Amino acid sequence: MPVSDQAFVTLATNDMYCQGALVLGQSLRNHRTTRKLVVLITPQVSRLLRVILSRLFDEVIEVDLTDSADYIHLAFLKRPELGVTLTKLHCWTLTHYSKCVFLDADTLVLSNVDELFARTELSAAPDPGWPDCFNSGVFVFRPSLETHGLLLQHAADHGSFDGADQGLLNSFFSSWSTADIHKHLPFIYNLSSNTAYTYSPAFKQFGSSAKVVHFLGSAKPWNYKYNPQTGSVLDQGSGSVSQHQTSFLNLWWRVYHRSILPLYERIGHEEVHASPGHTTCLTGGGVPCANSAPTADGMCADSTPGAREPCANSPEGSRQPWPAEDPLERTMVVEESCASPGARHSEDPPADKAEGGPREEPLEASPERPVDATRDPSPPDALEVDLAISVSEISIEEKVKVLSPEEQRRKWEEGRIDYMGKDAFARIQEKLDRFLQ
């Protein structure tokens, strides 16, 4: 029976993390969750991704910190690194749900985990690096404006010992490690795929029971290239990826290839442009997720540890929403339909790859320009990812966006400020110091 007042919640502040959110949402559908699916996004997420997310999630909710209370501004200005952290905390504002489970966008569900809703706030699994702390990639919580306010106040007053949400949440819910063992989720609900294997015998013993895998750390599944013919990620040459990690990465990509890419195919440009630019919340009412996405990826056919729940449908099952085609043909369709948002042929000259660090563009806007809390949060049109698709290789790449000084100024004026990068307070300070010398 569907439970409409409980939800799985994730967060994606840009188009890259949206790829993770999509695979996560699909994996929850594949395993027939009875709870709602919610994704929180920020204004940076492109229109196309909003539409695609709305195919899979029941609610796509834009959160915009600049619209919130003054102490958020304060926390931002003093601690720009808290940006993503404070965005995650927005999940406590979802008070139309009585209980939620937050899952990072870099997690993948391997079996039905609806039983997590039997737990109470704040339940989480130990962090593999420091097991007296919980990892904040998977946690059970109860939405409450009061708790949200207290968390923000805590952020403004004390910051976070790791500069992000995990440190903040651990110091706020500081009794987690001692007070109630029921709040310790078993590690199989947040298996860190790249660190767990230092204790290989335990993985051998318990790994096949894993229910949620977490691609914690800097190398995310979408940073890898995937060969759809072999069904495996390409060796990036580092040689450091364990066999377990590889099988989870392959699983992530299988879901992406079989179920997410077809969503891009099916979205026409008209629909994207027709989507209301000023809407702050898109709901997935148009296409019932139950018919489109679930069980289409054939995940359960995979022998990856943990993917042991039997699927009702075979990978090429009758509910598959697109015709089973020659892989080459399907690839071509993807390329054509995605061409304008950013897909390119792999033979094309490669686009420059963003390095992920702060952009080095000079800051033109003056720092005294206030953040306009009443601004119109209309989303940018530009897709921030490139899907490079060929018969033997798929990759998702971040687009390098070199903004003109005018575009930068406009972004700043619209309140779309890169707190983590070039508009970080430290950088503004540097500029001021240079100017005042």
Ligand X SMILES: O=c1ccn([C@@H]2O[C@H](COP(=O)(O)OP(=O)(O)O[C@H]3O[C@H](CO)[C@@H](O)[C@H](O)[C@H]3O)[C@@H](O)[C@H]2O)c(=O)[nH]1
Contacting positions for Mn ion (CB under 5 A): 104, 106, 137
137 binds ligand X (CB under 6 A): yes
Question: Does residue 165 touch ligand X according to CB under 6 A?
Answer: yes
CB of 205 to ligand X, least distance (A): 24
CB atoms within 10 A of CB 328: 11
Residue 299's Cβ-side half-sphere holds a number of Cα atoms within 13 Å equal to: 34
Closer to Mn ion by Cβ: residue 46 or 166: 166
129 binds ligand X (CB under 6 A): no
- The CB-of-15 to ligand X minimum distance in angstroms stands at 10
Residue 12 interacting entry, from Mn ion, ligand X, none, C-beta within 5 to 8 Å by type: ligand X
Q: How far is the CB of 220 from Mn ion (least distance, A)?
A: 8
Q: Which of residues 200-219 bind ligand X (CB under 6 A)?
A: 216-217
Nearer to ligand X, 33 or 295 (CB): 33
x-marked contacts with ligand X along 26-65 as a string, rule CB under 6 A: ----------------------------------------
Residue 195 makes contact with ligand X by CB under 6 A: no
**How far apart are CB 230 and ligand X at their closest, in Å?**
27
Give the pair of three-digit tokens for residue 41: 């996004």
d(CA 118, CA 60): 25
Nearest approach, Cβ of residue 6 and Mn ion (Å)? 22
- 104 forms part of the interface with ligand X (CB under 6 A): yes
Q: For 358-397, b where at least 16 C-beta lie within 10 A, e where not — what string?
A: ebebebebebeeebeeeeebebbeebbbbbbbbeeebbbb
278 CB neighbour count, 10 Å cutoff: 8
| 333 touches ligand X (CB under 6 A) | no
25 is a contact residue toward ligand X (CB under 6 A)? no
Site string for ligand X, 237-276 (x = CB under 6 A): ----------------------------------------
Report the partner that residue 72 touches, choosing among ligand X, Mn ion, none (CB closer than 5 to 8 A by kind). none
- What distances in angstroms separate CA 294 from CA 103, 249, 255, 259, 383, one per listed residue? 18, 19, 10, 8, 25
Q: Are strands 3-12 and 35-41 parallel, antiparallel or unpaired?
A: parallel
Backbone phi, then psi, for 335, in 5-degree steps? -60, -45
332 binds ligand X (CB under 6 A): no
Tokens of 145: 């404006």
The verdict on 17 binding ligand X (CB under 6 A) reads yes
> What minimum distance in Å lies between the beta carbon of 12 and ligand X?
5
Among 26, 27, 46, 136, the residue binding ligand X under the rule CB under 6 A is 136
Q: How many residues does the chain have?
A: 437
Question: Which residue lies nearer to ligand X by CB, 53 or 389?
Answer: 53
CB of 337 to ligand X, least distance (A): 26
State the SS3 of 88-145.
Answer: HHHHHHCCCCCEEEEECCCEEECCCCHHHHHCCCCEEEEECCEEEEEEEEEEEECCCH
**Phi, psi (degrees; rounded to nearest 5) at 237:** 90, -10
Residue in the structure block whose two tokens are 């290239």: 225
C-beta closer to ligand X: residue 121 or 309? 121
Interaction residues for ligand X, span 73-102 (CB under 6 A)? 84, 88
- How far apart, in Å, do the first and last CA atoms of the chain sit? 67
Size of the site for ligand X (CB under 6 A): 20
Q: Which is nearer to Mn ion, 104 or 384 (CB)?
A: 104
CB of 216 to Mn ion, least distance (A): 5
The alpha carbon dihedral of 359, 363, 369, 375 has a sign of: negative
Number of neighbouring beta carbons within 10 Å of residue 132: 10
CB nearer to ligand X: pick between 6 and 193: 193
Angle at 31 between CA 26 and CA 32, to 5 degrees: 95
Nearer to ligand X, 137 or 298 (CB): 137
Residue 414 touches ligand X, criterion: CB under 6 A: no
DSSP-derived 3-state class of residue 32: coil
Binding footprint of ligand X on the chain (CB under 6 A): 10-14, 17, 84, 88, 104-106, 135-137, 162, 164-166, 216-217
